[in-house]
A and B are shown apart, each in its own frame.
Chain A
Amino acid sequence: RKEVEQDPGPFNVPEGATVAFNCTYSNSASQSFFWYRQDCRKEPKLLMSVYSSGNEDGRFTAQLNRASQYISLLIRDSKLSDSATYLCVVAAGTALIFGKGTTLSVSS
């Protein structure tokens, strides 16, 4: 089983749609969880940390289920500028383990 697994997509959605990405991780000792965003041929940028209680940042909501080792990201009211690859990231200690990413394409 891969350490961090994501559905690669692509997810093709119209502007204004709500889209959800899922991620599972294999290491139960993982301590910290993040979503990064990577635009084409650019570096990854931290989108948000993921907390056990769930957290929201504007149109973005992240959830963590430690028992199921499952992380999710919900994007509401999608914008064209949300088109990117979303990377699920799990940390055990200082090493970050990245999923391969889920590609989102938002069209008008």
Chain B
Amino acid sequence: EAGVTQSPTHLIKTRGQQATLRCSPISGHTSVYWYQQALGLGLQFLLWYDEGEERNRGNFPPRFSGRQFPNYSSELNVNALELEDSALYLCASSPRQGPKNIQYFGAGTRLSVL
């Protein structure tokens, strides 16, 4: 069974540009979560999507947004990139049934903002 897959693996952008990160959850999982892991910091919760709806968001500015598609895959968009947005962005998924806080992570997209 395929795990959570994320693309691209690496992304290099310049300040002010927009970045789009993609995530495909494990088959049968309906919830997708996005986290940011900046150097020296712990994972910070960004967004939670379930059944196509945004259910919760962390303490991040509105230029961090996303969506979930009918096939449960998800995109994270970061507008007006800033240098401090450089981080590893991790996507996780959880199944429709069972506890939502058992989450399975993808390998991440490493975003570098120059």
Contact = CB atoms under 8 A, between A and B. Distances in A.
Find the residue from B31, B33, B40, B101 having the highest chain A CB count within 10 A: B101
Given A94-B56, A95-B48, A44 B101 contact: no
Main secondary structure of the interface of B (DSSP, over half): loop
A101 B58 CA distance: 20
Contact of A44 (B41, B55, B100, B105): B105
A45 B31 CA distance: 17
Interface string B63-103: 00000000000000000000000000010000000011111
Contacts of B106: 43
B58 A95 contact: yes
Interface residues of B, number: 24
Contact of A43 (B33, B45, B108): B108
Nearest to B44: A98
Given A44-B90, A101-B42, A94 B107 contact: no
A87 B33 CA distance: 17
Nearest to A36: B105
Interface of B: 31, 33, 35, 40-45, 48, 55-56, 58, 90, 99-108
